[in-house]
Amino acid sequence: AQKVTQAQTEISVVEKEDVTLDCVYETRDTTYYLFWYKQPPSGELVFLIRRNSFDEQNEISGRYSWNFQKSTSSFNFTITASQVVDSAVYFCALIGPYNTDKLIFGTGTRLQVFP
């Protein structure tokens, strides 16, 4: 069975601090795909990134970076120099390769960035 664990329920930081959100996953599939979504206080879900299981390159997009390590089944998300607008709930998600596979979400990490 597939599972995504986000052990950090809530994180609070002060603006300009760096923060890392952890994501650990379990799957029996050899091919799978990982995602991060952001849910700001307004409630919508915003896609941030998709990563294929066969691509372990780390990715950087502005202040956001992702560290994918198959050896530890982790796909962690780091925000550098956090800003108040980063305050949101962040979800990590996993799906297998088939159209009948379901996008499995973690329980989310609530990030609060204080000015």
Q: Please say whether the beta carbons of 114 and 13 come within 8 A.
A: yes
Of 55, 50, 5, the closest CA to residue 25 belongs to 5
Closest to another protein by CB, 15 vs 59, is 59
Q: How far is the CB of 4 from another protein (least distance, A)?
A: 10
Tell me if 87 contacts another protein by CB under 8 A.
Answer: no
Q: What is the rounded distance in angstroms from the CA atom of residue 112 to the CA atom of residue 93?
A: 21
Q: Which span (13-21, 27-35, 59-67, 75-83) binds another protein, by CB under 8 A?
A: 27-35
User: What tokens were used for 1?
Assistant: 């069975």
Q: Which is nearer to another protein, 5 or 80 (CB)?
A: 5
Is residue 33 near another protein by the rule CB under 8 A? yes
Residue 49 in contact with residue 35, Cβ under 8 Å? yes
The structure tokens 């994180």 sit at 11
Does 62 interact with another protein (rule: CB under 8 A)? no
**Which parts of this chain interact with another protein (CB under 8 A)?**
31, 33, 35, 37, 39, 43-47, 50, 89, 91, 95-103, 105, 107-108
